[in-house]
Amino acid sequence: MAGNREIFEKAMNAGHSAAWDQQWDKAIAAYGRAIQEFPEDPDAHNSLGLALLQARRLEEALKVYTRAHQLTPDDPIPLEKSADVLERMGRLREAAQQYIKVADIYIAQRDLEKAIGNWTRATHLTPGLIQIHAKLAMAFERTGENRKAIREYLTLAFNFQRMGDNEKAIQAVQRALRLDPDNAQALNTLQALQSGTLLQAPPEEKQAETEIQHDAFDVTPIVTEREVGEADPRGPLGEAEEIALTELATFVFESGMLDEGSAHTIQAIELHRQRDTEAALQAYQQALNARFSNPGIHLSVGALLLEQRQHKEAIEHFEAAMELPKLAAGAHHGLGQAYMALNRPEEAARHLVETLRLVDLSLAIEEEEREQLNAVYNSLQDSIARGNKTQLAAMNERFFTLLTGADWKQRVAETRRQLEETARLEGAAGMVEQLAEGGEELTESVANIDRYLHQGYLTLAMDEAFHAVEIAPTYLPVHVRIAQVLLAEDRLPEAVAKYRAVADTYLVREQTSRAASVLNEALQVAPMDLGIRTSLIELLKSEDRWEDVLEQYIDMADAYYQLADFDMARDTYEEARRLAERLNVGSEQIIHILHRIADIDVTRMNLRQAMRTYEQIKSMAPEDERTRRALMDLHYRLNNRVEAIKELDELMRLYARQGQTDLIAQVLQEQVALYPDEMALRSRLAAFYAHVGRHAEAIEQLDALGELQLDAGMHKAAAQTIRRIIALNPPGVEDYKRLLRQLGG
């Protein structure tokens, strides 16, 4: 039902006004109101997507732009914006594919310049896109930009050499030399190829040359690096000490109190600043004895007691200091150090992680960013309980180093970004493992591997992986990355063997979830490896993950089917069916399995068994069209013509109830083509044609039916067919009447 146009226009205008003023929340609300009135309006969706993008609500922006593209598939803008969102989210491969799709739309619109911009963007995000580099080379050549065309041909040569196709690499360079026979870089590249020297990737073009234009409202940059300012080299506790001393002095002087406690506090502050620890502690204690209480005094006392190695006493004061939120990060930092000294690594880890959380949150700008940060640190807190004492102790040492020095705030943000990536790839337990195994050097090395892999520098990625193994030989995520490099080098057997070795090691460590994750990754690249799938099934069974077991059974049966091992495929599908029924899963999944079993029985010519299976499906899903068609075909193949027609009639009634007359015609035509001598089929197709007014085609079918009946000596039936023809008043109707008289009709 159409909405109210006046409300829609008013909401859109309000959204534009708010967007102009960069009041993105108001713009989002207004555009949302417009979409409520006209949910199919693409302009409203595009405007809402932009507002969400500027508000840094990237997931929502992506959904809205996706919907806008569905509404107007020939408009490149929503797809281009969704690619931009994916890029900002770090989902670079998906973004590159979107830019390629955008370029295809621009090509269809004969806008080569914009297509080039999107192709170029895709190659920046995902190196090694050979087809796209080839398109770019030809596009630049066509537009007369020979320098850029030459660069693309040389990039193709670099990629072809990496793939081991030296002949194509030379052809690409020769194409470049046709554009400029004296080009030094092309000549050097050709010489390198002919001598077997490894090529270097041509340098990137400046971004400004290929930048995609943004909307007029797109004026607010997305900040990826946060300004953190200077930091106290003593870390969060050092910063909290300074805040506490200032808070204490302010509290005393603003309160105007001149009692004994205030006097001792002022004296303690001075002694503290002079770093006379013992005298300061004595003065603070006198203030506390005089009932002077303030979170600042507890933080200060806790810090001084920590210096004096009075760890148990310091803990009580740090806990009291947490009442003041601005001291909480420092108090947690102090508690972490105290528990480390007391050899209580789990408590230390919890407080140090909380320190990181509070520091990182203090640097966050947007609420959405805060939610994402909290998710990372919640996951890390949850994984602490699963870490062993040795791991946690090593992790705490890492935190202690991380939270000191002039640049500790920057390092907190960098470490958290690496933890996010680790959590995404290896789960929460992987974060503790990475922090414990190799310290900052390992984190940097892993980041380098990932970067080189993304850029397609596989030799560098493998070298960095071996360096990481030297740092932390037992850190298995590095070994997973080695498998990924092997895979990128098309060394599939070695990659699969590496995946299996990593999974086996995780099993020895009793980290079954991690083992399952690695085996799953291996199956993505080697889906037909039944040994890996069998190992994964046994592992999932040991964890009682029966729904996952069911999924693996189906995939294994599919693999057997593709390998033409129909016996094993059927047995495995049967195992999956029994498990599905035991798990009481939805009927759709069981029907899917039964269809596969029936298909195998048909392939093996066990038609009666296939029919029993299809009858079972029919009882579960009476309107399953595929089953009706299969049963009809099986009855014909078993010469059960009456039963076949019954199935056909039930299928026709199903289509009629659904209003799908086109399918009625299609099925009847198919069946007549398959069984041209089947009178019942001819009769039904003729009746359908007559019903929809296609008289010429009805007469054609009735003519054929009459011939079949006459040949079979069925004169009465033939006479009835002729009467049906006469009722349609065909050309030459008198001839039909004469024939009817001859038949005694």
- For position 304, what pLDDT does the model report? 92
Q: How far apart are CA 335 and CA 345, in angstroms?
A: 11
User: What percentage of the chain carries pLDDT values higher than 70?
Assistant: 86
246 and 147 in a single domain? The answer is no
- For position 417, what pLDDT does the model report? 63
Does residue 100 form part of some domain?
Answer: yes
Question: Which band of pLDDT confidence, cut at 50, 70 and 90, is reported for residue 212?
Answer: very low
114 and 32 in a single domain? The answer is yes
- For position 369, what pLDDT does the model report? 62
Q: How far is CA 525 from CA 129, 230, 489, in A?
A: 19, 47, 13
Does residue 566 form part of some domain?
Answer: no
Burial (CB < 10 A; 0-12, 13-18, 19+), residue 256, is exposed
Neighbours of 723 (CB within 10 A): 14
176 and 255 in a single domain? The answer is no
- For position 319, what pLDDT does the model report? 92
65 and 193 in a single domain? The answer is yes
- For position 211, what pLDDT does the model report? 40
Identify which of 54-68, 444-458, 558-572 has the greatest average pLDDT.
Answer: 54-68
Does residue 110 form part of some domain?
Answer: yes
Q: What is the pLDDT of residues 396-421, one digit of tens each?
A: 777 777 787 777 777 776 666 666 65
Note whether 75 and 69 are within 8 A (CB).
yes
Residue 207, pLDDT above cutoff 80: no
Task: Please name the amino acid found at residue 712.
Answer: A
324 and 418 in a single domain? The answer is yes
pLDDT mean over 231-258: 79
Segments forming the whole domain that contains residue 712: 680-745
Does residue 140 form part of some domain?
Answer: yes
Q: How far apart are CA 440 and CA 397, in angstroms?
A: 11
- For position 430, what pLDDT does the model report? 59
> N- to C-terminal Cα distance for the chain?
58
Token readout for 59 is 């997931």
Which position has the token pair 């063997």? 497
266 and 120 in a single domain? The answer is no
CB proximity list for 21: less than 8 A, separation 6 or greater:
none
Please report, for the domain that includes residue 301, its CATH number. Answer: 1.25.40
- For position 246, what pLDDT does the model report? 84
- For position 213, what pLDDT does the model report? 40
**Which of 607, 594, 515 lies closest to 557, judged by CA?**
594
For the ranges 64-73, 269-278, 583-592, which has the lowest average pLDDT? 583-592
314 and 426 in a single domain? The answer is yes
Identify the domain boundary among 412, 439, 466. 439
Token readout for 207 is 């971004």
Does residue 580 form part of some domain?
Answer: no
**Which of 66, 73, 137 lies closest to 109, judged by CA?**
73
- For position 342, what pLDDT does the model report? 92
Does residue 448 form part of some domain?
Answer: no
Average pLDDT, rounded, for the chain: 79
- For position 256, what pLDDT does the model report? 55
Note whether 336 and 355 are within 8 A (CB).
yes
Please report, for the domain that includes residue 52, its CATH number. Answer: 1.25.40.10
Note whether 356 and 377 are within 8 A (CB).
yes
pLDDT mean over 590-603: 83
- For position 302, what pLDDT does the model report? 92
158 and 256 in a single domain? The answer is no
Number of domains in the chain: 3
Burial (CB < 10 A; 0-12, 13-18, 19+), residue 697, is middle
Following CA atoms 161, 164, 170, 175 in sequence, which dihedral angle do they give, to the nearest 10 degrees?
-70
Q: What is the pLDDT of residues 617-657, one digit of tens each?
A: 888 888 787 888 888 888 888 888 888 888 888 888 888 88
Identify the domain boundary among 149, 170, 198. 198
- For position 692, what pLDDT does the model report? 84
- For position 312, what pLDDT does the model report? 92
For the ranges 161-175, 281-295, 425-439, 537-551, which has the lowest average pLDDT? 425-439
507 or 288, higher pLDDT: 288
- For position 316, what pLDDT does the model report? 92
- For position 335, what pLDDT does the model report? 93
Q: How far apart are CA 663 and CA 696, in angstroms?
A: 20
Identify which of 61-65, 351-355, 517-521, 543-547 has the greatest average pLDDT.
Answer: 351-355
- For position 337, what pLDDT does the model report? 92
Q: What SS3 class is residue 207?
A: helix
CB-facing half-sphere around the CA of 378: CA atoms within 13 A: 6
Q: How far apart are CA 218 and CA 54, in angstroms?
A: 7
38 and 147 in a single domain? The answer is yes
Q: What is the pLDDT of residues 227-244, one digit of tens each?
A: 444 567 788 998 888 888
Does residue 66 form part of some domain?
Answer: yes
196 or 289, higher pLDDT: 289
pTM value surpassing 0.85: no
Q: What is the pLDDT of residues 6-63, one digit of tens each?
A: 888 888 888 888 888 788 888 888 888 888 888 888 888 888 888 888 877 888 888 8
Note whether 522 and 532 are within 8 A (CB).
yes
189 and 297 in a single domain? The answer is no
Task: Using only the alpha carbons of the chain, give its radius of gyration.
Answer: 37
Q: How far apart are CA 669 and CA 681, in angstroms?
A: 9
Q: What is the pLDDT of residues 460-496, one digit of tens each?
A: 888 888 887 887 787 777 888 888 888 777 787 787 7
Identify the domain boundary among 439, 472, 505. 439
- For position 224, what pLDDT does the model report? 36
273 and 413 in a single domain? The answer is yes
- For position 508, what pLDDT does the model report? 77
Residue 611, pLDDT above cutoff 80: yes
Q: How far is CA 616 from the centre of its chain?
A: 38
Task: Please name the amino acid found at residue 237.
Answer: L
Residue 690, pLDDT above cutoff 80: yes
305 and 408 in a single domain? The answer is yes
Q: How far apart are CA 298 and CA 334, in angstroms?
A: 12
Q: What is the pLDDT of residues 319-362, one digit of tens each?
A: 999 888 999 989 999 999 999 999 998 898 899 889 888 888 87
Does residue 328 form part of some domain?
Answer: yes
